[in-house]
Copies of this chain bind each other. A is one copy, B any other.
Amino acid sequence: MEIRKPYLLFLGDAPDQLAVKTAAGVVDWRRDWCVGQMRLPGCEADVGLEDLDIAGAVEKGAKTLVIGVVNAGGVLPDHWIDVIIEALDAGLDIANGLHVRLGDVPRIAEAAKANGRKLHDVRHSSERFPTGKGVKRPGKRILAVGTDCSVGKKYAALALEAEMRAQGLDADFRATGQTGVLIAGRGVALDAVVADFIAGAAEWLTPAAAADHWDVVEGQGSLFHPSFAGVTLGLLHGSQPDAFVVCHEPTRKTMRGVTHALPTISQVIDATIAAGKLTNPDIRCVGIAINTSALGEAEARAVLDKAAAEHGVPASDPVRFGMASIVERLIEEFP
C-alpha cells in the first residue's frame, strides 16, 4: 500500500481547526507533497495551502485526494460523497482517515471501479500479515514509546527522522497510526490489525535493511495503558528496536481515557527494556522527549534538565528545542 503523491487535502466544511488535525499534520511534515487544500462553503479551517477545486488540483499534478478532516457522528455526508466521486472521475485516488470504509459506500465503490482508482482506508488494514517470527533482521530501528497515549510519539518520531537526516543518517519514518500513514504515504494502522498479527505487522513494516539504515518507528499506546498495552507490546516485539525514546507529558495526571496514574519515565524505560530484549537483547534508551507546551521556558528547561540527569540520556522537547541532542547520543551509541 503506497499512497500516490502529491495530495489534495480535503477539509470539507470543518467547523474548526481541530477537525482538520490530520490535514495539518500532513502539512507540518510533508508540505512538499501537497498541491493545495479543498474547502467547502462554511469551512472554518485553513491549513495554509492554496485553495483548489478538483480540476485545479489535477492541473497541478495531484494524484490523491486526502480526506484530512473528521466527520461529525462518523457518517459520511452526501455532499462529501459527491466530491469524492468527482475526484475519482477526475483520475484521483482517495486516502481516507475516517473510520468509515469508502468501499462500503456503493456509489464510491462503483466510481472507483469504473475509473480504476484506489481507495485507501488508512484506519483499516487490508494487508494480510504473517505472525511475527522474532528473528533478528539487519538494519537498525528506533522506536518512540510513551508513558501514555497521545503524548507526542508520532511527532517525536517525525522530528527524529528529520534531525537524523539532517545529521546525515539514512532514516525513514515508519507509520503505525492513521495520521502517520497519510504523512508517510504508507504504513499500517496497527490498532486495526487482528490481534494475532500485531507483531507480524510490525515486522512487515520494518523489514530487513542495510546495516546503517534506521527505521524510525511511530509508537502506539503505552505498556502501562490498561486498554492498549497489548498493541504496544506487539509493536515492541515486532519492531525489535535497537534504541528507543520515551515520550512524556509532564502535566498529565491520569492516563488517557482511564483513571490510572501515569507511570514514571523510569518505569517505562525498565519495562521497555525488560520486554524488548526478547527480540533485541541490546535494546537501550537514547533519549526522552517531553511535551513542555504547558510550561514556561524556564520551567521547561528545568524539567528537561532533571529528566536528563535522572536517566542519563539527553532530554528535549521536539517542538521547542529540537532533537539534535538525542540524535547526537544515538550516533555516539551506534557509531
Contacts and interface: CB of A to CB of B under 8 A. Distances in A.
A194 B194 CA distance: 4
Interface residues of A, number: 38
Nearest to A259: B135
A193 interface: yes
B234 A229 contact: yes
A259 B235 CA distance: 19
B226 A133 contact: yes
A104 to B, nearest CB: 15
Contacts of A259: 134-135
A132 B149 CA distance: 14
A261 B5 CA distance: 45
A33 B198 CA distance: 36
Nearest to A130: B227
A278 interface: yes
A196 interface: yes
B190 A195 contact: yes
Interface in A256-300: 257-260, 271, 274-275, 278-279
Contacts of A223: 275
A98 interface: no
A191 B200 CA distance: 13
B192 A193 contact: no
A230 B226 contact: no
A231 interface: yes
A131 interface: yes
A228 interface: yes
B278 A226 contact: yes
Given A135-B259, A198-B230, 19 more contacts: A131-B227, A132-B227, A133-B226, A133-B227, A134-B226, A134-B259, A191-B196, A192-B195, A195-B195, A198-B231, A199-B227, A199-B228, A223-B275, A226-B278, A230-B232, A230-B233, A230-B234, A230-B237, A233-B233
Interface of A: 131-135, 190-196, 198-200, 223-224, 226-235, 237-238, 257-260, 271, 274-275, 278-279
